[in-house]
Amino acid sequence: QNTSAATITDSSEAATATSAGIVVEQDNTANALARIGTDGSEGEADDGTEVKVTTTGTTSNSPLTISGTLNRATATGNAASTTVNETDFASNATSAFSAVRQQNTGATGDANNKSVTATVNDTDINITSGTTSGSPLTVSGSTDSAVATANSLTQRMTLDGTKLTLGTVSATAETVGTDTVATGAALLSSRQANTFTDVSAENTASSITMSAGVTNGSSLNVKSNTQDATATGSTAGNVLALSGTTVGTGAAIVSTQTSDAASTVTAATTGQAGITATSLGATTASSASLTDNALQSRATGGTVTNTLTATATTITLQAPDAVPAATISTATGNREGTVSGAYATLNDQLIAGSVAATT
């Protein structure tokens, strides 16, 4: 796993006219594996995490509770975060950028694919009681989860000043072939790619249950529990925030996410959540409630959120562009676009491989 965190911070001065920049490049060529429990694939018995409360006699006027259990396997290929803060200036003429490239790369042939894999096997979260009288039994807020992510990125740039100069011309964001390009005064750029890389999250035989004997005046609750598997090829969040009494122009966010046809994203979950009782309210009313539980699988090839905000009393825009503000190529196999404007955002995504989730 490659992990990076970079920060530039400057504030509380009368004026600044610096150039601030961050560049992060991550190339992962290794497998990433996180595993909890065994599945018998190597001859061993199935065995996983057990969280249990067990009583064999009579439970009378006594609560039995399992709450907030977290059992999670997390595998990550590349993870990065960047922060640029240039704030609290009377006059801010900073030009700033943050650029991140993330790549997972295997080799030709399925056997040579790199893998980012998280597996959770045979988890058992359970309350078992004998006879219960006047007792609440609760399994709630527990999470059993497998999470696999090939590329993960967050970038945030905050620029402010009473006068935030930036510029007076357009910014440009471009994605041409494998290049991701931006020009301007305040820029965020991200490029994430998976080549011959398989991302897999599996949660197998997950069990969150309750078993009771004869019950009288008791409540049995299994609620708000989550059993899931989440696999993601690439995820990015880019935030560019500009503020001041007067704010200039020339800010852009550009992002790309690609995955070739040999790369896959898969998520799978099997399991159960349930309540059993020998009798419910044999002589005095009892209740059983199975509510707000989730058993799910989620597979995503690429997801990105780009947010650009400008908060000001006055923004002076440049003269209208003489050329089209946006040009997007939709030719087969191409991933090319150009956007130009005072404030511009552009995102290109091309996920060619299989993306599948099963529950």
Structure confidence at residue 314 (pLDDT) = 87
| Span 136-146, pLDDT tens digits | 999 999 999 99
Q: Which of 263, 199, 273, 276 shows the shortest CA–CA distance to 230?
A: 199
Q: What is the pLDDT at residue 107?
A: 84
pLDDT at 15: 46
The answer to whether the CB of 171 falls within 8 A of the CB of 187 is yes
CB 342 within 8 A of CB 317: yes
37/45 Cα distance (integer angstroms): 10
pLDDT digits (tens, 9 = 90+) for 281-332: 878 899 999 999 999 999 999 999 999 999 988 887 766 655 555 555 555 5
Residue 11: band (very low, low, confident or very high) from pLDDT cuts 50, 70, 90: low
Q: What is the pTM for the complete model shown?
A: 0.89
Comparing 108 with 84, which gets the higher pLDDT? 84
Residue 277 banded pLDDT, cuts 50, 70, 90:
very high
CA 266 vs. chain centroid, Å, equals 15
**In which region does residue 93 sit, left (phi positive, over 0), alpha (psi from -120 to 50) or beta (all else)?**
alpha
Q: Is the pLDDT of residue 359 over 50?
A: yes
Is residue 165 scored above 70 in pLDDT?
yes
Q: Is the pLDDT of residue 21 over 90?
A: no
- Per-residue pLDDT of 49-80, as tens digits, reads 999 999 998 999 999 999 999 999 999 999 99
* The pLDDT of residue 344: 87
Residue 110 has pLDDT above 60, yes or no: yes
What are the tokens at 244?
Answer: 């001041």
Length of the chain: 359
Instruction: Reply yes or no on whether the pLDDT at 190 is more than 50.
Output: yes
Q: Which residue has the tokens 């597996």?
A: 119
Spell out the residues 6+ positions from residue 334 whose beta carbon is closer than 8 angstroms to its own.
none
**Cβ atoms 45, 120 nearer than 8 A:** no
